[in-house]
Amino acid sequence: MKRKNMLAGLGLCLMLAIAGCGGNNTANTENAANSGNGAANATNAPASEAPAAQDSYKIAISQYVEHPSLDATREGFLAALKDAGLVEGENLTVDLQNAQADQSNNLAVAQKIAGDKNDLVLAIATPSAQAVVQEVDKNTPILFAAVTDPLDAKLVSDLAHPGGNVSGASDTNPESITRLMQFIAAQFPNVKKLGLIINEGEPNAVVMSGIAKEELDKHGIELVKAPITNTSEVKQAAESLVGRVDAFYITLDNSVVSGVDAIIQTANDNKIPFFSADRDTVEKGAFATVGFKYYDHGYQVGEMAVEVLKNGTSPGDMEVKMQEKLDLILNLKAAEAQGIEVTDAMKAEVSDTASSIIQ
């Protein structure tokens, strides 16, 4: 993975995206790149023809795993369709498939979707998006959500002008990571080592940890990794960091987020501040993040889907989007459980105190 190239692409596209949640093996990544839907052929793929007026629509959703952020993404997506008059059970049929964080299931889900006729396919998380782009016909519109780095995942070759039949939204803004690391450095002077539970098989986690490390290095804080390969190892990884680090941190790492209850429990039992990369985990029991609501992220992609379904817009003509509105989010109950004194200086960094300070 070329992080410098990724960051350069982000800068050129006004920080449009880096992408969500998930990993894939090298073979799948290469297949995605060589697919008729991949970046290598994106600019040569024909734009989808504008659909004729329809009384009803059928869409398929491939979701990599169930956890609060991805579930909220799906709910926001469907809410946007409903607000535009596309209602499941009335004029909209939704085929929801969940891979349960298993790569074999993930590929099988994509192949099943490819064998059906859909007006649009939504892929939630990087592994789902890579498999869908690899398997689904290039004439079927594809949107992705909860993807950390669409360029590195080879879903598109240009964030501003994707081309082909693929577009969507990234769930990461590099500024959210650097701002959180700066908050830790400024407000937690006793944190000299930050423990990161991570599945390095998920490219998005690697990208985000690299950005975090770069900022932490500026403040003399060491990033200590506790690697896992699946969700069942999260508890042991968190416990292995006790006594070795001063705080916990996790990225948008599907395997880790799916087992986050164990991290929260370990943090609370040992009075260790716990920082996350997403709001949903803070609402669940981490102390702080700089982020946004995944429901809003999904709603944003849902609005893109409405353009595709009702107006015949080609995904290739739609820029890859991202969340620009970021805020520091604090959970005061989590602070108490983790032995954190929430100061006025911390609260002063929150812009929207009504919604971003969780009581």
> Given this chain, do its domains 3-171+295-313 and 174-292+325-358 carry the same CATH topology?
yes
pLDDT at 52: 54
CA distance linking residue 125 with residue 148, whole number of Å: 8
The residue among 20 and 298 whose pLDDT is bigger is 298
135-138: which pairs have CB atoms within 8 A and are 24 or more residues apart? 135/35, 135/107, 135/110, 135/111, 136/37, 136/110, 137/36, 138/36, 138/37, 138/41, 138/45, 138/46, 138/164, 138/165
User: Model confidence over 80-100: pLDDT tens digits?
Assistant: 999 999 999 999 999 999 999
Kindly indicate the confidence band of residue 67, based on its pLDDT and cuts at 50, 70 and 90.
confident
Kindly indicate the confidence band of residue 53, based on its pLDDT and cuts at 50, 70 and 90.
low
pLDDT at 322: 87
Total length of the chain? 359
- The whole model's pTM is what? 0.71
pLDDT at 124: 98
Domain ranges of the chain: 3-171+295-313, 174-292+325-358
Kindly indicate the confidence band of residue 21, based on its pLDDT and cuts at 50, 70 and 90.
very low
Question: Which superfamily, per CATH, for 3-171+295-313?
Answer: Response regulator (3.40.50.2300)
Q: State yes or no: pLDDT of 29 exceeds 70.
A: no
Average pLDDT, whole number, for the chain? Answer: 88
Kindly indicate the confidence band of residue 342, based on its pLDDT and cuts at 50, 70 and 90.
very high
Q: State yes or no: pLDDT of 334 exceeds 70.
A: yes
Kindly indicate the confidence band of residue 206, based on its pLDDT and cuts at 50, 70 and 90.
very high
Worst-scoring range by mean pLDDT, 1-10, 215-224, 265-274, 310-319? 1-10
The residue among 234 and 292 whose pLDDT is bigger is 234
Looking at 2.10.260.10, 3.30.565.10, 3.10.105.10, 3.40.50.2300, the CATH number of the domain 174-292+325-358 comes to 3.40.50.2300
Neighbours of 57 (CB within 10 A): 19
Q: State yes or no: pLDDT of 256 exceeds 90.
A: yes
Q: State yes or no: pLDDT of 167 exceeds 80.
A: yes
